Structure 1
Amino acid sequence: MSREASAWVRPLAWTAVLLDGFDLVVLGTVLPVLLRDHVWGLTPGTASAVSTAGLVGMTLGALAIGTVTDRIGRRKALIFAVTAFSACTALCALAPSAFVFGLLRFLAGLGLGGCLPTAITLVTEHARAGKGGSATTTVMTGYHVGAVLTALLGIGLIPALGWRAMFVAGALPAVVLVPLMVKFLPESEVFEAVAARRERPSARDVVRGLFSGGFLRATIAFWVTSFMGLVLVYGLNTWLPEIMRQAGYQLGAALGLLLTLNLGGVAGLLVAGFAADRAGIRRSTITWFLAAAAFLALLSVRLPGFGLYAAVFLAGSFVFSAQVLVYAYVGRTYGDALRATGLGWAAGIGRLGAICGPVVGGALLSAGIAYPWGFYAFALIGLAGAAGALAVRTGSAAKNPQRTVKVRRG
């Protein structure tokens, strides 16, 4: 494959991951308007159901598309995922009822759930030897850039054009991105080599491979770690402003802390990739979760202005990049025949944590103990993530993952 063709992989994958960042924030930007204007008679309860529907769709999409990617190829799977997500997101702007809106969010989630694991698989397989960690973390900066841009877009777009315009804006990138992917996105040479040998395992055998050949312990440990990581990501993004308000900070300062948290995430990803390539992916993942736990615990202490923003920035740096290091770790642990499936299932199980994170924060707020106990709870979750990464072990058979699945020739 030419160097020119490979050069397209990272920017196209980065843009696809940016859509995941869009989805992280977009519902939070439009729900206050929907509730305030009583659109469709929406209540906080039905709004929570709509939010959960999207996350359930992402979970199922991640679980399914990883396996599909190991069957049909990374290129086709990513193009399909982006197209499906963007089409359903555009239709959200036309939704006539809360039920249809929730259904479209679910269907968009199915496509979006496949973007992240497939994009990471492609980037990992096109990365230079020893640079897989930094390639993964660099691409995942798109996630936080997308979240920040969407929040800023909401500030300017919703007052001028209304909430529906946000979903039109979220679908527009596909008008340019999908044709570029069709024309320029190359298939992974790893997948092409497997296809050329006609050694494509069935979907059942690919999934079974995650639990055999020495991978059982690693698979479960990755699921635990990914779950804990996304509890932190979604719990903090959803409730940090309200927790800080409960602590006595003004709303403007609380929203500023949320922006600081995500800016720290972008910076942390660049440092984490550098560390993973030099110190090793396992050691870096464990260290990042431990550091995340330490800075989350520190937020339970009332700090002076600069110290508070510095602590939140560092917490974001370690929390968000710890989760991305999990994906890089998965990509290095499973071999060519299982990589996309392993990433898809780790991301899918992790999405359950994305559902639980806001629930945990909401329960602590309802009980009136989110500050300081919420930060202690999140710190414990960070420690659980470190323990999960520490537990990753693979048996000797896992050194040749192609032998862990049955292949169908012809």
Structure 2
Amino acid sequence: MSIQIKKIGKLFGRTQVLKDISLDIASGEMVALLGPSGSGKTTLLRIIAGLEQHSHGLLRFHGQDVSRIHAKDRHVGFVFQHYALFRHMTVFDNVAFGLTVMPRKQRPSSQAIKQKVMQLLDMVQLAHLASRYPSQLSGGQKQRVALARALAVEPQILLLDEPFGALDAQVRIELRRWLRQLHDELKFTSVFVTHDQEEAMEVADRIVVMSQGHIEQVGTPDDIWQRPETRFVLEFMGEVNQLHGQIKGSQLHIDGYEFPLHHASAQQGEVDVFLRPWDITLKKDVDEQHRLPVRVIESGPRGHFWQLTVQPIGWGHEPLSVVWQSSHVTPVRGEHYFLGSQQAKIYQGENELLFPQLAKSA
């Protein structure tokens, strides 16, 4: 079941929380709505579910306008962050609930319901807990029950609101892998809300990055990570170091250090320079590409790399994060290096300034 969203807006009183959102989701696709609190991602999910009415715009499922169709008639399954299980019902009865309250003409027989519920509990690996109550389950088990309940009525679209947000880190990792496998097996269309970049990167086919009620970028995890289209996406997705500089003529100045840009820029004045930790290189000796002196103030192994924190010497103020991937030399706290990067991104306000040759000199 495909989803078409065209120029959807939402007002709460005089506050506009969604601003002309347009998005197409293909049938069988898993899409993450990713953004900080207040970005509008949960409001958009609730509009798709029919739990919230949009103020303007169009919402279609497989070409059909569903704007006036009640939530219960949209064939949408919804999984909440805090499970929303019925405490007085067993695991079996929780999963069966949606089937037992269907209109009489559509309701399966008791035997068919039992067969369907046990099949789902097998799928979520909880058949042995069918007679237990929610209070007897772990957080991960509760979330699997909630997912099985949502799937029981065979929804054409599955919506999940921060489904793993209340779980421990290790349980989250296990469940999101399991959810991806389940999605690949059943091929349902799925949209989930998260503020966890790692979760979105691992599970989704595409990521929709949202901020302040509008979409910043839509793309595959690789697109979002490698090719951020806006300053917000660059800063929001993963760790990034920020330096302040100035462009004067064809030179980039960072606290007295000059880097040639190989051509004069039409944009002059104050700029921000962004460096990912893994795009930074360090050398013991100064050269054309490594001019900025730093001192190692923290150094720790992280499996196949070392995580460093370095303090600028005589320039800048804030410590910088560096991923050190050399296996030949172990960095030691207190050592001095010279810093460079071949992947600097330069912004003036919200606009990225492109300097193709900067990689050779900064």
TM bracket (short chain):
under 0.3
Give the number of the structure whose residues are more often helix, by fraction. 1
> Rg: which structure is higher?
2
Q: Give the TM-score normalised by the residue count of structure 1.
A: 0.20
RCO higher in structure (CA 8 A, sep ≥6): 1
Give the number of the structure whose residues are more often strand, by fraction. 2
